[in-house]
Amino acid sequence: MRQIKSLRFVLLIVLLVAAITPVQAQDEGTVVIAPGDPIKLALATDLTNAIPEFGLDISQAGQVAVAEVNEAGGIKGFQVEIQVEDDRCTGDDATTVANRIASDPQVVAVVGHICSGATVSASDVYEEARIPMMSPSATAAGVTERGLDVMNRVAFRDDVQGVVAANYMYKVLGVRTLAVLHDNDTYGLGLAEVVRDTFTELGGEVVAFQGINVDDQDFRPVLTGLVPMAPEAIYFGGYVQQAVLLVPQKNDVGLQDVIFFSDDGVYGEALISGAGDAAEGVYAAFAEQPKTDPERLEAFVDAYEEMFDVLPSDLGPFHYHAYDSTKMLLNAIEEVSVVDDAGNLVIDREELIDAVRNTTDYDGLTGLLTCDEKGDCGAGSIAINLVEDGEWVNVEVPEDLLEMEAE
């Protein structure tokens, strides 16, 4: 009798384990998707914190890409499901989100994350879980410098963006004294350091290099401290949430004639609507307008507007990058996935990681994209933009600055 009870106990344990274990192949290196089940793609973005408009734009662009694939029949007859996660653009939240994504053995790949600090934190989790990722917007140079084979991005690099910004201020705007502010985060600080070092090498004087507390609402004490230094320009490395306060507040303390120059984290309608009239004359760097067939860009914008009843440009600048990031991952899934004799879609994780990293000449909305050995896949040059008459206007960048980017 005791032996029978022991056997029943063992059987009960086995059944409980089976009940709570997700359905997947015995080999943890593969994802097995049963007929009728979706291919699960995660998209991690910021929806409620530093750049929610940018994050929503990226999320919706990813959904446009997935809808396009699904309408064309999916991948080998399997539909794609996109799971959107809010990482709030912070390392801690991104780690939590990444662990949640990695705990689902059916998630195949990740679009994101969008902020550089969040991306660095999350990518360590995905590296261990062997889940490839493609960021549309994490621009910090160090993001792809850590030897992770799951980490890829369509975004341009800040060690290029910062060099072009410093040269533009020095050579085109004639700035010789510069104050540099940053948000103390991976993205803003790293970019600010590039600008500081490049501007100094050009012969300019950096009269201040200072971090701000991103939780503050009043930056006048910091800005007032710059007044006696008489900078001709202020460069800010950070996001629009702080820029919409810094721009009008610099005018309040007597720095209204000082140029305000910033980065891709500020380039969007949110800066203009948030800073109001004070936004006039603000500069920001971003990728150049794609040279893709205008009809393709127009078709994307039309599909986006039809799905979400808003123009992508009303929210943020990274929609083309998000679309390309999503499509590149889906193309790699198409390449490596196989349908087995039982009709399951089988995806080998290591083969998928290699396929993403070896993407070559993908004809995207942002250009012809090829990933290098580090996972940098972006195309195009850096553009400079200016708020003029309440709108962002692209300004001419001299050829020698463009040539410098390729060095």
Q: What is the pLDDT of residue 379?
A: 86
State in Å, rounded, how far the first CA of the chain is from the last one. Answer: 80
82 has a pLDDT exceeding 90: yes
Rounded to an integer, the average pLDDT of 167-196 is: 97
Q: What is the pLDDT of residue 23?
A: 37
Q: What is the pLDDT of residue 129?
A: 98
Name the band, by pLDDT with cuts 50, 70 and 90, for residue 280.
Answer: very high
Name the band, by pLDDT with cuts 50, 70 and 90, for residue 52.
Answer: very high
CB 205 within 8 A of CB 194: no
Rounded to an integer, the average pLDDT of 286-306 is: 94
**In which residue are the tokens 């040269």 written?**
167
17 has a pLDDT exceeding 90: no
Q: Which residue has the higher pLDDT, 285 or 6?
A: 285
CB 38 within 8 A of CB 104: no
Q: What is the pLDDT of residue 400?
A: 76
Min mean pLDDT across 12-16, 137-141, 259-263 is at 12-16
Q: From edge to edge, which strands make up the β-sheet containing 382-388?
A: 205-211, 177-182, 233-237, 259-262, 283-287, 382-388, 391-395
Rounded to an integer, the average pLDDT of 272-279 is: 97
Rounded to an integer, the average pLDDT of 64-77 is: 98
Q: What is the pLDDT of residue 401?
A: 74
Q: What percent of the chain has pLDDT over 90?
A: 88
112 has a pLDDT exceeding 90: yes
Residues 6+ positions from 360 with CB-CB distance below 8 Å: 370, 371
Establish whether the linkage from the previous residue to 182 is cis, with ω within 30° of 0: no
Rounded to an integer, the average pLDDT of 42-51 is: 97
Q: What is the pLDDT of residue 29?
A: 95
Q: What is the pLDDT of residue 402?
A: 60
12 has a pLDDT exceeding 50: no
404 has a pLDDT exceeding 70: no
26 has a pLDDT exceeding 90: no
159-289+383-405: CATH topology: Rossmann fold (3.40.50)
Q: What is the pLDDT of residue 289?
A: 86
Structural domain boundaries of the chain?
A: 13-155+318-376, 159-289+383-405
7 has a pLDDT exceeding 50: no
User: 13-155+318-376 and 159-289+383-405 share one CATH topology?
Assistant: yes
Residues 6+ positions from 173 with CB-CB distance below 8 Å: 233, 259
13-155+318-376: CATH topology: Rossmann fold (3.40.50)
Choose among 289, 288, 282: nearest CA to 392. Answer: 282
Q: What is the pLDDT of residue 75?
A: 98
Task: Give the separation between CA 151 and CA 132, rounded to whole angstroms.
Answer: 6
Name the band, by pLDDT with cuts 50, 70 and 90, for residue 405.
Answer: low
Q: What is the pLDDT of residue 16?
A: 39
**In which residue are the tokens 């600090």 written?**
117
196 has a pLDDT exceeding 90: yes
9 has a pLDDT exceeding 80: no
